[in-house]
Amino acid sequence: MTEPQRSDVLIIGGGIMGASAAFFLRQRGKSVTLIERGLIGQQASGTNFGNVRRQGRYLPQLPLANRSRAIWGRLNDLLGEDAEFLPSGHLRLAYTEEMAERIEQYGRDARPYGLELEMLSGNILRDRFPFLGPEIRAGSYSPLDGHANPRLAAPAFGRAAKRAGAAIVERAEVLSVEQEGGSFRAQTADGRIFRAEQMLITAGAWGSRLSQQFGEPAPLVVHGPQMAVTEPVPYALEPVLGIATTIPEEIIYLRQVKRGNIVFGGGIRGPASAETLRAYVKPENTLGQLSQITRIVPALRRLNVIRVWSGIESYLPDDIPIMGPSARVSGLHYAFGFCGHGFQLGPGVGDVMAELIATGQTSTPIEPFTIARFAGGATNQTGGHP
Amino acid sequence: MAEPRIIIVGAGPAGIRAAGMLVAAGLRPVLLDEGQRDGGQIYRRQPEGFTRTPEQLYGTEAARAVALHQSFERLKPQIDYRPRHLAWNVADGVVHTISEGKPGQFAYDVLIIAAGATDRLLPVKGWQHAGVYSLGGAQIALKAQACAIGRKVVFLGTGPLLQLVALQYHKAGAQVVALLDTSPFLKQVLALPKLAARPAMLVKGLRLVGGLMASGMAIHRGVTPVEIHGEAEAGVTGVSVRLASGEIRRFDCDAVGLGYHLRPEAQLADLARCAFTFDAKTRQFWPEIDADGRSSVAGVYLAGDGVRTQGADGAEISGALAACAVLADLGRPVPEAERAALREQGRIMERFREGIAEAYPWPAHLAADLPDDAILCRCEGITVGELREAATEKGADEVNRAKALTRVGMGRCQGRYCGHAGAEIVAAATGVPLEAVGRLRGQAPVKPLPVAAGEVQP
């Protein structure tokens, strides 16, 4: 058990970022060991809403999101497993004229990035999506966005990486990481030591605990998404629906899965703890969400909620992730802190990080996400979504 | 100091006795209950306008039922009684309820959870057909509405309720085709020393068995369930079991009452973050309590069948004991002599509970041996084979992981009815001990929550 394991790349953290990076690194011929404290895809990657949404993102993130979307489209062939990706379309909705203008402007701004959005309002919107409530004024439709099953996606990447030859070490908590004689060394709580030429830290809410051991702490805070699901009813709501608003209580998003249940989330974030590994849904948040989902689709008032859940997500002050090479240590890379919008990006992040680690560069711009932006303790507000 | 805010959840024997003890000490608890009327399940009161006598409704337990109902009538003006209030969540010292579509919030300093039990179920191939009911459900249909679950009924499973419901159906005039008990008769004989802890109850039990023998219904013990036959339209058409002799026999029927004793309704305790512990004898997790019903969380007390399946008499005692613990922890005078007597009776109840568990053991091997094509999770339509594959091929050797990958336990019942069997299947398929396979974490709502509740501001 104490035998040091050696590989080209050591990945710490088995969420969708780490698992997909392991898979794509194997495709590039690198030997990979992935170490995960619990099980693959158990935290933020497995408990999020499941949005495969590009519209509404921070614009400079769209090239990465586009690259990821292309992978989602061929995920089943790539992994040999179904993560229930459904390119159902995504509809971003506005209650007010001001927000309608804002999403219309976003549509114009997104076009140069290759994201074509269709602005709909009034009777055209209602004819096409007759289930929408009377308060909805306008919507921006993204035909190629959609949703997938978060409980399945990261584990599917993990298994595919394993089949491709990656070493997937679950139930092993990495306590210390360091650079030693030009290579990297990680030690687990049970005393195992792993070594590699390069290291990738994809440890989500626990990322800063590791990055700070290399002198690069990140100002992560943790929150729990407030998720819920109804009983199943016949499939009728095709696009993912989300509200564009500046009022936190109004934030709501919902999707219907093919088997019929309606999954929703949003509103005020809940308490989570990176120490106890627990996150909770506040009952008042659930009730608040119920009053919001019926504003979007009034017919939902006849359904029942059968389950709520949360998970541990990490956020950064500027609401965009840390992704890219370390600013201090050569051979060290980061991809964590995805601020509640990482699921869609997951496959693309894995692909880009694999490219970066294997070739030293990437064709997808990721400069805004450098960890160096926190070097002086400064926190510039970029602002991103919804 | 302001009066402490005390909430009791559940107006069955445990909740009513707890309320009585607190009222006697000068306190005025809030009693939240999901039911239309008090009494809980075992002493469930019939709807207004029904005219059956207590003897018809409760049999040998009529006197106790009437006594409890009368105590409650006296208590009613002295407590804040809220019937038709489902406690769907508890968090941060507040019980969240739903009542006739309206959400409510009840803040507490002290919470006594006496939420009762539901049937412990074990799937059998074909149990998804219409016409398969739990034993408790079958009994409630009879007790509350004077209805039978079918014209020709088979009762299958094990436990005291199996015998009792079969006889109640027979007495009510239903045709009971067969009583099929998975426990061998020998187990019941071997448990006699522990069952003798309550001689009067043992005598009642023996009379019950005598009544069953005299009824003329077919009774087979030590059976192995094979399949519940049925069709999508017609529902149940029969039950096949392997008799102790090895012969496979089919019993034609149009309804099946199924159950393997009871399991605590511990979701609220779970949401209140009470610690759970594994009981190797009954092969299940249940909340940790001390001898008086204190949970691991300060201010939260657990009583009745919602924490240990001791039955109605045990529930009354544990409810009163939990109230004594509340008084002691609030620094109020405790009726010492009464508490000492209750504790002594509580020990007898616990010994008898162990006897019942040994006489009618949870047949774990039946879950482990279920065929791959049997439906395991009825809510989501997931087969035993799908769960086994996730356990062996996808590394899901823990129940919450298995749930995430397969949906077993994700539906309306939240794993109440397939969770225990699912854990046995994962344990058997992976070789991981049941204790390490774990338990499904409780998730709100305790029962389905109407979306329309969001339209009413509490």
- A236 shares contact with chain B (CB less than 8 Å): no
Residue numbers in A near B404 (CB within 8 A):
42, 46, 151
Record: contact A308-B405, CB cut-off 8 A: no
Residue numbers in B near A309 (CB within 8 A):
443
Residue numbers in A near B453 (CB within 8 A):
287, 290
A112, exposed or middle or buried, with CB in 10 Å at 0-12, 13-18, 19+? exposed
Record: contact A307-B410, CB cut-off 8 A: yes
Residue numbers in B near A268 (CB within 8 A):
none
Closest partner CB to A291 (pick from B394, B445, B455) = B455
Residue numbers in B near A264 (CB within 8 A):
none
- A42 shares contact with chain B (CB less than 8 Å): yes
B346-383 residue pLDDT tens: 999 999 999 999 999 999 999 999 999 999 999 999 99
Residue numbers in A near B395 (CB within 8 A):
39, 170
How many inter-chain contacts (A to B, CB under 8 Å) are there?
83
A35-86 residue pLDDT tens: 999 999 999 999 999 999 999 999 999 999 999 999 999 999 999 999 999 9
Amino acid at the residue B368: A
Give the closest-approach CA distance of A291 to chain B in angstroms.
4
Closest partner CB to B443 (pick from A287, A301, A307) = A307
Nearest to A386, CA basis, from A53, A116, A16, A66:
A53
Which residue does chain A place closest to B98, by CA atoms? Answer: A287
Closest partner CB to B451 (pick from A152, A294, A307) = A294
B319 SS3 class: helix
Closest partner CB to B451 (pick from A155, A280, A304) = A304
A293-335 residue pLDDT tens: 999 999 999 999 999 999 999 999 999 999 999 999 999 999 9
What whole-number distance in Å separates Cα of residue B380 and Cα of residue A141?
32
Residue numbers in A near B454 (CB within 8 A):
287-294
What whole-number distance in Å separates Cα of residue A174 and Cα of residue B99?
48
Q: What are the DSSP calls for A100-158, one per residue?
A: HHHHHHHHHHHGGGT---EEEEHHHHHHH-TT--TT--EEEEETT-EE--HHHHHHHHH
Closest partner CB to A306 (pick from B89, B448, B455) = B448
Record: contact B89-A151, CB cut-off 8 A: no
CB atoms within 10 A of CB B375: 20
B85-126 residue pLDDT tens: 999 999 999 999 999 999 999 999 999 999 999 999 999 999
Give the closest-approach CA distance of A80 to chain B in angstroms.
13
Which of A305, A309, A310 is the best substitution to test chain B (most B C-beta atoms within 10 A)? A305
Interface ipTM: 0.94
Max Cα–Cα distance, chain A, nearest Å:
68
Percentage with pLDDT > 90 across chain B: 91
**What pLDDT is stored for residue B420 in this prediction?**
97
Contact of B342 with B299, CB cutoff 8 Å: no
Residue numbers in A near B450 (CB within 8 A):
303-305
Q: Is the pLDDT of residue B457 over 80?
A: no
Record: contact B449-A39, CB cut-off 8 A: no
User: How many residues are present in chain B?
Assistant: 458
B403-434 residue pLDDT tens: 999 999 999 999 999 999 999 999 999 999 99
- A282 shares contact with chain B (CB less than 8 Å): yes
Average pLDDT, chain B: 95
Helix B419-430 / helix B399-406 crossing angle, nearest 10 deg? 100
Low-confidence residues in chain A, pLDDT < 70: 1-4, 377-386
Which residue does chain A place closest to B441, by CA atoms? Answer: A309
Which residue does chain A place closest to B456, by CA atoms? Answer: A291
Contact of A235 with A256, CB cutoff 8 Å: yes
B298-344 residue pLDDT tens: 999 999 999 999 999 999 999 999 999 999 999 999 999 999 999 99
Phi, psi of A217 (to 5 degrees): -70, 155
Q: Is the pLDDT of residue B397 over 50?
A: yes
- A382 shares contact with chain B (CB less than 8 Å): no
Sheet of B449-450: strand order equals A118-121, A138-142, A90-94, A240-243, A252-256, A262-266, A227-230, A304-309, B449-450
Give the closest-approach CA distance of B405 to chain A in angstroms.
6
Comparing B59 with A106, the larger pLDDT belongs to: A106
Paired tokens of A353: 């990080």
**What pLDDT is stored for residue B49 in this prediction?**
86
- A170 shares contact with chain B (CB less than 8 Å): yes
> Which helix or strand (DSSP H or E) is residue A162 part of?
helix A150-163
Lowest mean pLDDT among A103-107, B206-210, B220-224: B206-210
Which of B389, B451, B456, B457 is the best substitution to test chain A (most A C-beta atoms within 10 A)? B451
Which of B449, B455, B456 is the best substitution to test chain A (most A C-beta atoms within 10 A)? B449
Record: contact A303-B103, CB cut-off 8 A: no
Give the closest-approach CA distance of A279 to chain B in angstroms.
12
A357 SS3 class: helix
Residue numbers in B near A38 (CB within 8 A):
none
- A209 shares contact with chain B (CB less than 8 Å): no
**What pLDDT is stored for residue A377 in this prediction?**
60
Residue numbers in A near B437 (CB within 8 A):
none
Paired tokens of A24: 């794509």
Max Cα–Cα distance, chain B, nearest Å:
70
- A155 shares contact with chain B (CB less than 8 Å): yes
Which residue does chain B place closest to A150, by CA atoms? Answer: B404
Give the closest-approach CA distance of A39 to chain B in angstroms.
8
**What pLDDT is stored for residue A4 in this prediction?**
58
Q: Is A122 left (phi over 0), alpha (psi -120 to 50) or beta?
A: left
Record: contact B401-A304, CB cut-off 8 A: no
CB atoms within 10 A of CB B297: 16
- A113 shares contact with chain B (CB less than 8 Å): no
Residue numbers in B near A288 (CB within 8 A):
454
- A291 shares contact with chain B (CB less than 8 Å): yes
Give the closest-approach CA distance of A170 to chain B in angstroms.
10
**What pLDDT is stored for residue A5 in this prediction?**
83
**DSSP secondary-structure letter at B292?**
T
